[in-house]
Amino acid sequence: MSWKELLLGKPIPNDEAEEEKIGPLTGIPVLGLDALASAAYGPEAALTILLVLGTGGIRYIGPLVIVIAALLLIVQFSYRQTIAAYPDGGGSYSVARANLGTKPALLAAAALALDYVLNVAVAISAGVGALVSAVPVLFPHMLALCLVLLGLLTLVNLRGVRTAGMLFMLPTYLFVACLGITIVVGLVKLVGSAGHPTPVVPPPRLPAGTATVSLWLLMRAFASGCTAMTGVEAVSNGVPLFREPRVQGAQRTLSSIVGTLVLLLAGVALMCHAYGIGATPPGQAGFQSVLSQMVSAVMGRGVFYYVTIAAIVAVLCLSANTSFADFPRLCRVLALDGNLPASFAHSGRRLVFSTGIIILSLLAGVLLVVFGGVTDHLIPLFAVGAFLAFTLSQLGMVAHWRKSTAPRARHYRVVNGTGAVATALTLGVVAVSKFLEGAWLTFVFIPLAYALFRANRRHYVKVARATETHQPMRVTPVTAPVVVVPIKRLDLVAEKGLQFALSISPEVYVVQVHAQPQESEEIGSNWKSLVEAPLRAAGLPVPKLVVLASTYRQVIDPLLGYVRKLAGQHPDRFIAVLVPELIEHRWYHYLLRSHTATLLKMMLLFRGGPRVVVINAPWYLRERRRHGAGAATRRPESSLRGLRFRKQASDSP
Amino acid sequence: MSWKELLLGKPIPNDEAEEEKIGPLTGIPVLGLDALASAAYGPEAALTILLVLGTGGIRYIGPLVIVIAALLLIVQFSYRQTIAAYPDGGGSYSVARANLGTKPALLAAAALALDYVLNVAVAISAGVGALVSAVPVLFPHMLALCLVLLGLLTLVNLRGVRTAGMLFMLPTYLFVACLGITIVVGLVKLVGSAGHPTPVVPPPRLPAGTATVSLWLLMRAFASGCTAMTGVEAVSNGVPLFREPRVQGAQRTLSSIVGTLVLLLAGVALMCHAYGIGATPPGQAGFQSVLSQMVSAVMGRGVFYYVTIAAIVAVLCLSANTSFADFPRLCRVLALDGNLPASFAHSGRRLVFSTGIIILSLLAGVLLVVFGGVTDHLIPLFAVGAFLAFTLSQLGMVAHWRKSTAPRARHYRVVNGTGAVATALTLGVVAVSKFLEGAWLTFVFIPLAYALFRANRRHYVKVARATETHQPMRVTPVTAPVVVVPIKRLDLVAEKGLQFALSISPEVYVVQVHAQPQESEEIGSNWKSLVEAPLRAAGLPVPKLVVLASTYRQVIDPLLGYVRKLAGQHPDRFIAVLVPELIEHRWYHYLLRSHTATLLKMMLLFRGGPRVVVINAPWYLRERRRHGAGAATRRPESSLRGLRFRKQASDSP
């Protein structure tokens, strides 16, 4: 399996688990990329809506960013409490489950899960989109590039959290540093020029306004700008990723991320004011992103410009990674509660929850293929999911503080209550203003995911109820089972089957079905000499030969009927049916085989009733060479000595 | 299963097999459609090549048809002998195998198999093509129509040979009758007008000639016309379909088919001469088939014309059916020799070889999908396969007569020798002149099929050699196996597993793997009170509890390692591993499950070595309701009475 180790790395033993954990320095790239990348598209989205106001629109970006920053700080405050109260991760889901009940919790989980899947698809296609605008010759391969990038991200994440964090550190800090330097230099120039700096490269002139300002327009701009807030819940979902003391580590990471994001957003807004930077109409000739205009205006188009743009593209792409860190954690928490299959809760060879990573990758891959690698239409869906989760999480914290006896609980409750009202209002604004643009899809997918969780849970409970017991074991009388050995002819496979059958019970029925007349060798005449005689001579019980006719040429139906008849005749015993399994050298030999044995096993298990047990005995094609053939030629025909199986190389531990 | 009976009919018992057989009257539609339909496209194909000669080209159709008719009669003579000598069917394959050896036989089989698959695809798309030219609104649904027709043919054939024969009788005889009447009326008019009849509807004027006659042109016209000969081998493959005396029935059917075909070809050629009918350029506006021109010229465009055209379209479509009758028979003969998996030799619920029918349908379906329902390009491939089979079959007959002591063997040998030379020459002409048009594909597919047959045979021989024995059974000492019961927790599933394990062996190891720390319930403390104590009290052997740690969080690897260690410690005993199987209510519940159990079974069988046996015990979710839960509540906690399984409704035979 060396290719597996090459791709995924050596398996990590349990006792090295702590070393795989992360601190704030790696935590920011792993869990903060989604949030930080928002600085690149949040202001841009708001300014695009304001475009119809012409140059006059730019003045509204400041107040909008202030409102968004205030919301961010409230949400951050709320999630800091969540991290402390629910250090096992799960974020909004855990809060809602503990305080609001299962249904709101699953609603939050569904919203978050949808968000994570969307984020992967949108981030990858945004990154590839930026790459393709720079290198247009790649345009026809856009979908392929998206899928390759998705595959690489999946692989990196399957290798473990620490690998991902180390790999993504450089672009993340480069992105923050470049934008930070630009903003600081811009501030210096702003102060030095008494508020009227001269741009190095002037931004393109905005088209004349075609509308006057209205509340509806500002609400839409605000809703668009709110995409800047997505990704803030990530840290609270991933608390167990941090090394101890994990609560402090996670809180510090969250505060660093939100603090950096608020500063970046404020800086961008200020530069837009100072240099008169607005959005350019997207999808048209001459389009230039707001950040590109800002860096050009402040720093000019030198090396710094290109490094910054490269960092922005990289961060956009890699912001998909936040989902890879969180989605599997969310699924794990859901699985531990029975809302998803148990395998989501199993950590794999590199200590990550591989099932969740692979499912996330598959779902995002489907989205990318369905939308051909262009997922702009999915962006509005984001904000709905995020704000639904924010609101439920804060409502949960309100309930949490109500029950709490902590000294400042009352105080905290007011903050979270305010936050809940604010995010709920925002959710309303976003849902209404983005409904036709695609937000309606969330009203389809969130209920679907919710129903899936519920179905899983029902099934989980049903199975648990059906199987659990706290009683001492019921002791049945130890009567050997009735063993049925279906055979085609008297060959070594049948011989081995009989040997095993006789080792577990003295009551063995050998059954031959005469399905295809031209195929069935008559066993009758050889039975006495080849089977009965040697067994009798050794003083062993003799199996009974049963030949079943098949009116309709089926093999399985007559056998199943016979087995059920036996079960009826022995109401207090197990009926064990021995089905040999030919083990081939090469997998493709299985294509050449008839699959009667597989079908027989399934039918016996599903239709045989609770007392019919299937015994699957392997017959290796190499078996004869090793112990059969040699013995057969060396052995005198009449000898009946008890030949033992030889110890085989493959059996040594 | 009532939907199955509705679609496929009730299963036919073995003792009604003879009633499913056919005589010449049904034999002609079942096995002759392919050959008879050739009358519709053979002359057309030759005349299309002659088109470049203008009106002057028509005079060559007579001589060409005479040569083709002579070849037909020789081939017919040869196959009559084949039918008598090889009444078990298999045609060219059986002849070649008996007289020329395995390799030429498999070559013939590969050629025939390819032909049958091509015939299904081409016939269906030709029929649908004719239908779509009549009803152009169906054009966008051409592929769908092809697949629906393919599905219907598959279904009809799965219902049995007799159903197919009865269903196809009407169009077949209508086709022969309509063309026959047209030719007879044409002959009368020809004689009545002293060789210069006036057409009721004059055929379109031919374009002026653009080339002069050459040997190469005539050879190409001949090669195209030879497609009229495909389908002649069908009867010899299907001899076992006929009721006794089957040889006479099959011979009479073959002669009727070839006789009718020769008369139709001759009649069509004569009418072309008399009325000056040539081909119209295919795929261009004003295209009209030769038969349509002929019927219009002789009979006018009344009701008779439309009935005839409908019959032609139906016969083109249904000529695919010959393949459905023969391909499964060919596969059966190949399977009996080990060249294909055994299931091809099993006759299904309606006494037909269902596997062959389904595989044929799948292969033809793939061809139709790949070519989008337009398969004109595949037509040249036909003739190569057919003439390869003809040649090998006649060479086989030459060898057959050489060994024979029959009175006229020498005489027959000359006829077959002449036939072999003639068909081999034709094969050469067809292969050369059609190579670039697509015949090269046969040089890819025939070797592929050949290699598949050989691989199957090798595998079949290997398995047979590895398993067969004619020695008396080797009597091993009857030592109970070592039983391993992997469990997750102490629940009813584990209880049932333990009950079965103790019923087959006193030496039982209960193994728990600590893979995911948060999941594993500690069994240790309950083990003594819930399992050991009651067993000891009942005087039964007590299983040993083994807890395995898992460094890398896998379940299967540690278990497999432990089982192999046990196998090493007990070199003369079977190791039986008991894997419970949860039987769900609904199939989609299996999607919600982790598939560790399935994977474990596979790994144990494939990597456990020859002495590791897997026992699969079902646990039905309804089981508890029926006997578990009730018992658990009624039973006093300390009671240890031997509770017996209740007889269940589903167990009664």
Best CA proximity match to A207, nearest among A42, A41, A58, A39: A58
Q: Which residues of chain A form CATH 1.20.1740.10?
A: 28-461
Chain A positions in Cβ-Cβ contact with residue B594 (cut-off 8 Å): 341-343, 346
Best CA proximity match to A644, nearest among B566, B601, B611: B611
Whether the CA torsion A249, A255, A258, A261 is positive or negative: it is: negative
> Across the interface, do B476 and A568 touch by the CB < 8 Å criterion?
no
Q: Is A243 exposed, middle or buried (0-12, 13-18, 19+ CB in 10 A)?
A: middle
Tokens 């392929």 -> residue: A144
User: Between B79 and B134, where is the model more confident?
Assistant: B79
The C-alpha angle B325, B326, B328, rounded to 5 degrees, equals 90
Cα of first residue to Cα of last residue in chain A, in angstroms, is 19
Give Cα B429 distance to the centre of its chain.
30
Which SS3 state, helix, strand or coil, does residue A341 take? coil
At residue A162, what is the residue type? R
Comparing CB atoms, the residue among A552, A561, A565 nearest residue B349 is A552
Residue B521 — pLDDT band, cuts 50, 70, 90? low
Chain A positions in Cβ-Cβ contact with residue B638 (cut-off 8 Å): 472
CA distances from B263 to B38, B80, B183, B270 (A): 12, 19, 9, 10
Q: How many CB atoms lie within 10 A of CB B636?
A: 8
> Across the interface, do A476 and B643 touch by the CB < 8 Å criterion?
yes
- What is the distance between the alpha carbons of residues A436 and A414, in angstroms, rounded to a whole number? 34
Pairing of strands B482-486, A575-583: unpaired
- What is the distance between the alpha carbons of residues B157 and B160, in angstroms, rounded to a whole number? 5
Which helix (H) or strand (E) segment holds residue A616: the answer is: strand A612-620
At residue B189, what is the residue type? K
Q: Is B180 exposed, middle or buried (0-12, 13-18, 19+ CB in 10 A)?
A: middle
Per-residue tokens: B195: 């060789």
pLDDT of residue A265: 95
Q: What is the pLDDT of residues B402-414, one digit of tens each?
A: 888 878 888 888 8
pLDDT of residue B619: 86
Q: Is the pLDDT of residue B625 over 70?
A: no
Lowest mean pLDDT among A410-424, B460-474, B601-615: B460-474
Comparing CB atoms, the residue among B462, B477, B637 nearest residue A471 is B637
Q: Is the pLDDT of residue A7 over 80?
A: no
| A28-461 CATH fold | Amino acid/polyamine transporter I (1.20.1740)
Give Cα B475 distance to the centre of its chain.
44
Q: What is the pLDDT of residues A442-468, one digit of tens each?
A: 888 899 999 999 988 888 888 888 888
pLDDT of residue B597: 81
Comparing CB atoms, the residue among B341, B470, B473 nearest residue A534 is B473
pLDDT of residue B644: 29
Residue B375 — pLDDT band, cuts 50, 70, 90? low
Best CA proximity match to B241, nearest among B232, B251, B254, B250: B250
> Across the interface, do A504 and B647 touch by the CB < 8 Å criterion?
no
What is the domain class of B18-461 according to CATH?
A: mainly alpha
Best CA proximity match to A68, nearest among A225, A300, A257, A210: A225
User: Between B213 and B613, where is the model more confident?
Assistant: B613
Q: Is this complex's ipTM strictly greater than 0.90? A: no
Q: What is the pLDDT of residues A546-557, one digit of tens each?
A: 988 877 777 888
Chain A positions in Cβ-Cβ contact with residue B15 (cut-off 8 Å): 551
Pair B605, A583: CB distance under 8 Å: yes
Q: Is the pLDDT of residue A523 over 90?
A: no
Per-residue tokens: A58: 């730019």
Mutate to test the interface with A, among B337, B456, B475 (most CBs of A within 10 A): B475
B561 touches chain A (CB under 8 A): yes
Residue B649 — pLDDT band, cuts 50, 70, 90? very low
Q: What is the pLDDT of residues A221-265, one digit of tens each?
A: 888 888 888 888 889 888 888 988 889 999 999 999 999 999 999
Which chain A residues in 462-521 lie under 8 Å from chain B, judged by CB atoms? Answer: 462-463, 465-481, 490-493, 495, 498-500, 502-505, 515-519
Chain B positions in Cβ-Cβ contact with residue A471 (cut-off 8 Å): 530, 632, 635, 637
Residue of B nearest to A339 (CA): B592
Indicate the average pLDDT of chain B: 83
- What is the distance between the alpha carbons of residues B137 and B140, in angstroms, rounded to a whole number? 7
B240 touches chain A (CB under 8 A): no
Q: What is the DSSP string of A102-122?
A: HHHHHHHHHHHHHHHHHHHHH
Average pLDDT value for residue range A578-588: 77
Q: How many CB atoms lie within 10 A of CB B57?
A: 23
Q: What is the pLDDT of residues B269-283, one digit of tens each?
A: 999 999 999 888 766
pLDDT of residue A424: 92
- What is the distance between the alpha carbons of residues A315 and A172, in angstroms, rounded to a whole number? 6
Which SS3 state, helix, strand or coil, does residue B46 take? helix
Pair A463, B624: CB distance under 8 Å: no
CATH hierarchy code of domain A482-642: 3.40.50.620
Q: What is the pLDDT of residues B15-49, one digit of tens each?
A: 777 777 888 888 888 888 888 988 888 888 889 88
Chain A positions in Cβ-Cβ contact with residue B646 (cut-off 8 Å): 571
Q: Is the pLDDT of residue A636 over 60?
A: no
Residue A639 — pLDDT band, cuts 50, 70, 90? very low
B362 touches chain A (CB under 8 A): no
- What is the distance between the alpha carbons of residues A484 and A579, in angstroms, rounded to a whole number? 9
Residue of B nearest to A596 (CA): B343
Which chain B residues in 588-647 lie under 8 Å from chain A, judged by CB atoms? Answer: 589, 592-594, 596, 601, 605-606, 608-621, 623-625, 628, 631-632, 635, 637-638, 640-647
Which SS3 state, helix, strand or coil, does residue B634 take? helix
Average pLDDT value for residue range A145-166: 85
Chain B nearest C-alpha distance from A618 (Å): 6
Q: Which residues of chain A form CATH 3.40.50.620?
A: 482-642
> Across the interface, do A614 and B615 touch by the CB < 8 Å criterion?
yes
What is the domain class of B482-639 according to CATH?
A: alpha beta
Best CA proximity match to B32, nearest among B183, B251, B203, B253: B253
Pair B390, B92: CB distance under 8 Å: yes
Residue B624 — pLDDT band, cuts 50, 70, 90? low
Q: How many CB atoms lie within 10 A of CB B484?
A: 25
Pairing of strands A612-620, B612-620: antiparallel
DSSP state of A626: I
Residue of B nearest to A633 (CA): B471
User: Between B588 and A392, where is the model more confident?
Assistant: A392
Q: How many CB atoms lie within 10 A of CB A388?
A: 25
Chain A nearest C-alpha distance from B224 (Å): 38
Average pLDDT value for residue range A357-372: 88
**Sheet strands (E) in A495-597:** 508-514, 544-549, 575-583
Residue B652 — pLDDT band, cuts 50, 70, 90? very low
Q: What is the pLDDT of residues B167-182, one digit of tens each?
A: 888 899 999 999 999 9
Pair B105, B93: CB distance under 8 Å: yes
Give Cα B583 distance to the centre of its chain.
34
Q: How many CB atoms lie within 10 A of CB A574?
A: 24
Residue B509 — pLDDT band, cuts 50, 70, 90? very high
> Across the interface, do B572 and A645 touch by the CB < 8 Å criterion?
yes
Q: What is the pLDDT of residues A607-632, one digit of tens each?
A: 888 899 999 988 887 766 554 433 33
Chain B positions in Cβ-Cβ contact with residue A476 (cut-off 8 Å): 499, 503, 642-645
CA distances from B64 to A494, A630, B233, B279 (A): 62, 66, 21, 15
Strand partners, B617: B580
